Structure 1
Amino acid sequence: MSLLTVERIKLFSTRSPYWCLAAVLAASLLFALLFGLVEAGRNAEPRLVLSGVGLGQDIFMVMAALAVTTEYRFGTLKTTFLAAPRRTSVLTAKTVLLAVIGAVVGVICPFAAFFFSKALASDPPSSLVLQGEVWREVTGFAALFAVSAVIAVAVGTLLRQSAGAVSILLIWPLLIEQLIGIIPTVGPKIQPWLPFQAGAAFVSPTRASSIGDVLSSNGPTPVQGLLAFIGYAVVLWAVAAVVLRRRDA
């Protein structure tokens, strides 16, 4: 518990986490505002309304990675290791703190975006109702944010450089996983099972939508996608823990 308290104090001792969390909320509400107002909100389907939350997830990963890399930059992690020699415990405390924050943010932002867009839409679609699998599409971001925090902490621990960690966390889901999908024959089969594509399946609709947005037949089910995403995070975190114990701080 003391390590969690220390990590909380260190995290919120600067302004950057507050700005990042504000950016996550702003990104979530921006798309909700857009789809809630355009054409009286007739196209405000849950997956579109919540698309800004996915962008917010990327911003949150940046915040989680910086929580590690800035400590390497300013040398505060060495002091922490002197006070708590068990490095894995320190990494665990930091990961748990950020995962809990991610889960809370992953609940607040999608609910705010959903109801904000619904309030703005004068002619909302029938799907913009919090029932059935829409519950999963909205609340599922809590799990994705939490798991993303684990991945971001692991990447930050492995690289220790802010620029490198942020670049990987932004380029991998936004570019690399998309490029893999265009590889002939193999790409479309592999892409749905890549980390962030699999995670996105957990908040994707399985029902047919007005524009035909359904999960790929080659891809995982929502539960399979979440389990795959968690699996990637656990493996990456375990590697980071081993590397952290074996190298100099």
Structure 2
Amino acid sequence: MTLLAVERIKLFTTRSPWWSMLLALALTIGITAIIAANWGAEAPMPVLAAVFVHNLGLYVIMVMAALAVTTEYRFGTIKATFQAVPDRISPLVAKAVVVVLLAGLVGLASSFGSWALSWLLVDNTSELAIESANDWRHVAGVGLVYAAGALLALGVGALVRQTAGAVSIILVFALVLESVVGFIPNIGDDIQKWMPFTVAGKFIFGNPDPSVIPAGEGPPAIGELSPWGSFGYFAAIAVAIYVISLIVVKRRDA
């Protein structure tokens, strides 16, 4: 519990987490508000539309998670931490618990905030009610994706140790590489289906309730996994990268 308190204090006594949380909420809820305000009255707004831009907040939270590690390396405070806790694993696990829980809460705040504001702004809310299991997955599932994404970013930050490098890897991979890989002849589409952030999108958007999506429309099938299988795949990649980072941090000099 002491390590958790220490990591909580270290995280919240810097400005970057606060700005990151505010930016993540502002991007997701703000853009969703614009979408909802301009949604035509003739067509009902589905639950999916309320969380359509959740990825914007996800990338911001992943940058925040990476900074939680790289900032300590930048200013040398990680050395004092490792001197106080020589096993090195315990403080990193405590940091992961704090950052992952915070990321999950921000994800829930962004998704339910976007949904609630959409309910207030759209004229036709007949399909915006959260009634089915799919509806709950679309909205509440954002918190799980944020949490897993934060764990992945923590692992990248611990491996790279440089803020610019870690942030570049996260954003370039998510925003550029996963899209560009689809242009590779013959095999691009097959590879893209298994890219982690693409698969995470299947968890949020895949297999929507057909009652709120017109025939032939809606998100396409992604890969061969079910929505929950897709989250398991994304979470497994995040855990694997984080575990590798723990092994590397344990073996190399601080």
TM over 0.5: yes
Instruction: Please list, as runs of the form range in 1=range in 2, the aligned pairs for 1:188-203 lying within 5 A after superposition.
Output: 188-203=189-204
Compute the displacement of 1:216 (Å): 1.8
Compute the displacement of 1:52 (Å): 2.6
Q: 1:39 to 1:200 in 2, by over 3 A?
A: closer
Residue number in structure 1 paired with 2:168: 167
Q: Does structure 1 retain, via aligned residues, the 8 Å contact 2:206–2:221?
A: no
Write the distance in 2 (CA, Å) between the matches of 1:35 and 1:81.
47
Write the distance in 2 (CA, Å) between the matches of 1:219 and 1:190.
12
Q: Which amino acid aligns with 2:229?
A: Q
Aligned structure 1 segments of 4 or more residues deviating by more than 4 angstroms: none
Q: So what's the TM-score if we normalise by structure 2?
A: 0.92
1:244 to 2:245 alignment: no
Residue number in structure 2 paired with 1:13: 13
Q: Which runs of 5+ in 2 are unaligned?
A: none
Q: Does structure 1 retain, via aligned residues, the 8 Å contact 2:25–2:57?
A: yes
Shifted more, 178-187 versus 151-160: the winner is 178-187
Residue number in structure 1 paired with 2:205: 204
Write the distance in 2 (CA, Å) between the matches of 1:165 and 1:51.
26
Residue number in structure 1 paired with 2:28: 28
Compute the displacement of 1:43 (Å): 6.5
Compute the displacement of 1:36 (Å): 1.0
Compute the displacement of 1:217 (Å): 5.8
**Cα-to-partner distance string for 1:162-215 (whole Å, 9 max, x where unaligned):** 011111111111110111122223221221221111112111141353471233
**Cα-to-partner distance string for 1:34-65 (whole Å, 9 max, x where unaligned):** 12111446463333321232210110000000
Q: Which amino acid aligns with 2:231?
A: L
User: Aligned pair count?
Assistant: 248
Residue number in structure 2 paired with 1:227: 232
Write the distance in 2 (CA, Å) between the matches of 1:47 and 1:146.
20
Q: 1:102 to 1:186 in 2, by over 3 A?
A: same
Residue number in structure 2 paired with 1:113: 114
The DSSP-based 3-state class of the residue aligned with 1:203 is helix
1:100 to 2:101 alignment: yes
Q: Does structure 1 retain, via aligned residues, the 8 Å contact 2:179–2:192?
A: yes
Q: Percent of counterpart pairs with the same letter? A: 38
When the two chains are superposed, the root-mean-square deviation of aligned CA atoms in Å is 1.6
Write the distance in 2 (CA, Å) between the matches of 1:200 and 1:221.
11
Instruction: Please list, as runs of the form range in 1=range in 2, the aligned pairs for 1:74-89 lying within 5 A after superposition.
Output: 74-89=75-90
The DSSP-based 3-state class of the residue aligned with 1:51 is coil
Q: Which runs of 5+ in 1 are unaligned?
A: none
The DSSP-based 3-state class of the residue aligned with 1:206 is coil
